[in-house]
Amino acid sequence: MSAALVVAAVILVALVVYTLTAGADFGGGVWDLLARGRTAAAEHRLIDRAIAPIWEANHVWLILVVVLLFVCFPAAYAGISTVLHIPLTVMLVGVVLRGSAFTFAAYDPMPGGGARRFRRLFAISSLLTPVALGVVLGAVSTAVEVDPRTGRVVGDFVSAWLEPYPFAVGLFVLALFAYLAAVYLIHEADDEALRVIFRRRAQVSGVLTGGAALLAFLVAREGAPRIHEGLVSAAWSTPLHLVTGAAALVALWALHRRRDHLARAAAMLQAALIVVGWGLAQYPYLAVPGYTIEGAAAPEGVLWPVLIALAAGSVLLLPALVYLVRVFKARPVRGDG
């Protein structure tokens, strides 16, 4: 296995973890926006408690992806950030507003109208950012063209992403994040009324996620032929779809039977497999069609030391990460199964 492929695999793993952790933080913002009625205050508190201690650590996975991209695939990073300048900027504004507005609302010692408006801003940017992220990922699968003579990206900064397929992916990412958040929040709620609410929301958003996936798949036939081809006819595609579909069905069934632990495990597996499937369908491209993994890679003399540094860093990082999760997420779950 080449060093470039190993780095690409690490990037994919980081994206999976980002989806499972930070994705759910964004999803929490979506549910914050939809909190209504008598339980609204309790829902806000639950979402606060779930997000506050960990969102910054979860966010770092995105930074890891960016750093690995520019260190190990510098030409592709430069090309992608040139043609996708606009959706990336929108995503950044969303990232900035989400993080700061959430913190401002949570740390206002005299919460009143101001805190309520920040809360609203946090929720709206939680809605906007996943869509922009999906648009970027969708465009990376379709329209990053490179002029073979100059080696530079070509395009008008708009047509690469202003297409149905990237927006279908954006919708799908939003639905998936909201679904994950709902499934997690069942666990973190310490009151049965809230659990009932989030079980129902998880079921609804789970079905919507399936619908959005189907929509993206249909649009991909025209809009992202290479991805579509990979998803339909590659050797791995049928088994992967079967397992992903099975995980989705198990999750919905477990939600119905109130087997919350099982539902969470199945939903996480489902989300992870979706991201992995997208990565496999991209192979051997990093950005379709301009940059392949091997073609865009930095010299091996750069890749191996960076991989070694990653491995060494993980030895420090992983125990710390496990400790963080244990401190804040290890609460007894009552009413399970």
Partner 1 sequence: MDDLLAARGQMALSLAFHIIFAIVGMGMPLLMVLAEWLYRRRGDLHYLELAKRWSKGTAIMFAVGAVSGTVLSFELGLLWPGFMAFAGPVIGMPFSLEGFAFFLEAIFLGIYLYGWERVSPRAHLAAGVMVLLSGSLSAVFVLCANAWMNTPQGFALVDGMPAEVDLWAAMLNPASLPEGLHMLTAAFCAVGFAVAGIHAAALLRGRTPDFHRRALGIAFAVGGVAAFLTPLTGHVAAEQVAHTQPVKLAAMEGQWDDERGAPLRLFGLPDEAREVTEYAIEVPKLLSFIAYADFDAEVKGLRSFPADERPPVAVTHLAFQVMILAGMAMMGVAALGGLALVRRRRLADTPGLLRLIVLASPLGVVAIEAGWTVTEVGRQPWVIYKIMRTAEAVTPMPGLWIPFTTFTALYLFLGAAVVVLLRRQVWVADHPEAEVAHE
- For position 62 contacting partner 1 by CB under 8 A, the verdict is yes
- For position 302 contacting partner 1 by CB under 8 A, the verdict is yes
Q: Which is nearer to partner 1, 53 or 211 (CB)?
A: 53
What long-range pairs does 52-58 form, CB within 8 A, spacing at least 24?
52/102, 52/106, 53/324, 53/327, 53/328, 54/21, 54/25, 54/324, 54/325, 54/328, 54/329, 55/22, 55/25, 55/99, 55/102, 56/99, 57/321, 57/324, 58/18, 58/21, 58/22, 58/25
Report the Cα 155 to chain-centroid distance in Å. 27
- For position 253 contacting partner 1 by CB under 8 A, the verdict is no
- For position 220 contacting partner 1 by CB under 8 A, the verdict is no
Tokens 């926006």 correspond to 33
CB of 32 to partner 1, least distance (A): 14
- For position 104 contacting partner 1 by CB under 8 A, the verdict is yes
| CB 311, CB 15: distance < 8 Å | no
- For position 237 contacting partner 1 by CB under 8 A, the verdict is no
Is residue 139 within a helix (H) or strand (E), and if so which, with residue range? helix 113-140
- For position 72 contacting partner 1 by CB under 8 A, the verdict is yes
Size of site (CB under 8 A) for partner 1: 67
- Tell me the Ramachandran region of residue 283: left when phi exceeds 0, alpha when psi lies from -120 to 50, beta otherwise: beta
- For position 96 contacting partner 1 by CB under 8 A, the verdict is yes
Compute the distance between CA of residue 11 and CA of residue 64 in angstroms, rounded to an integer: 8
- Piece in contact with partner 1 (CB under 8 A), picked from 60-68, 140-148, 206-214, 283-291: 60-68
Q: In the set 309, 329, 335, 337, which binds partner 1 (CB under 8 A)?
A: 309
- For position 262 contacting partner 1 by CB under 8 A, the verdict is no
- For position 100 contacting partner 1 by CB under 8 A, the verdict is yes
Q: What is the dihedral of CA 277, 8, 139, 74, to 10 degrees?
A: 180
Contacts of 139 (CB under 8 A, 6+ apart): 83, 84, 87, 160, 161, 163, 166
- For position 41 contacting partner 1 by CB under 8 A, the verdict is no
- For position 60 contacting partner 1 by CB under 8 A, the verdict is yes
- Piece in contact with partner 1 (CB under 8 A), picked from 194-202, 207-215, 284-292, 298-306: 298-306
- The contact set with partner 1 (CB under 8 A) reads 45, 48-49, 52-54, 56-57, 59-60, 62-64, 66-68, 70-72, 74-75, 77-82, 85, 88-89, 92-93, 95-100, 102-104, 106-111, 114, 118, 157, 298-299, 301-302, 305-306, 309-310, 313, 316-317, 320-321, 323-324, 327-328
